[in-house]
Amino acid sequence: MKSELTYTLDTEGGKRSITIHTYNNAAPCSGCYTEGVFALQEGDTDLGDIVFDDKMNQWEYTGMGNLTHNEAAMIANYIQNKSQAA
């Protein structure tokens, strides 16, 4: 998957443009890189992260109310589809 994607989220309040950034951080003292962590941003607002398990099946949204569970699920599904296509 590209290091940055834009997802248009269609909500009752209108369309929201969500930027998805991938993390490629090195885990301390391991030489391994973390995968499956995606930062969400809307303009200058940090929306939290979507964190997947190592198989990209289960996910968790770490945001504080900026997205509903259903909205986060739509974005997680988009990330899964993009990751499988890569």
Q: How far is CA 45 from the centre of its chain?
A: 14
Residues 48-68: tens digit of each pLDDT: 999 998 778 899 999 887 899
pTM: 0.82
Measured CA to CA, the distance from residue 52 to residue 40 in angstroms comes to: 14
- Whose tokens are 């993390």? That residue is 23
**What are the contacts of 73-77 at 24+ separation with CB within 8 A?**
74/9, 75/7, 75/9, 75/18, 75/20, 75/40, 75/50, 76/50, 76/52
Q: What is the pLDDT of residues 16-43, one digit of tens each?
A: 999 999 876 555 565 554 568 899 999 9
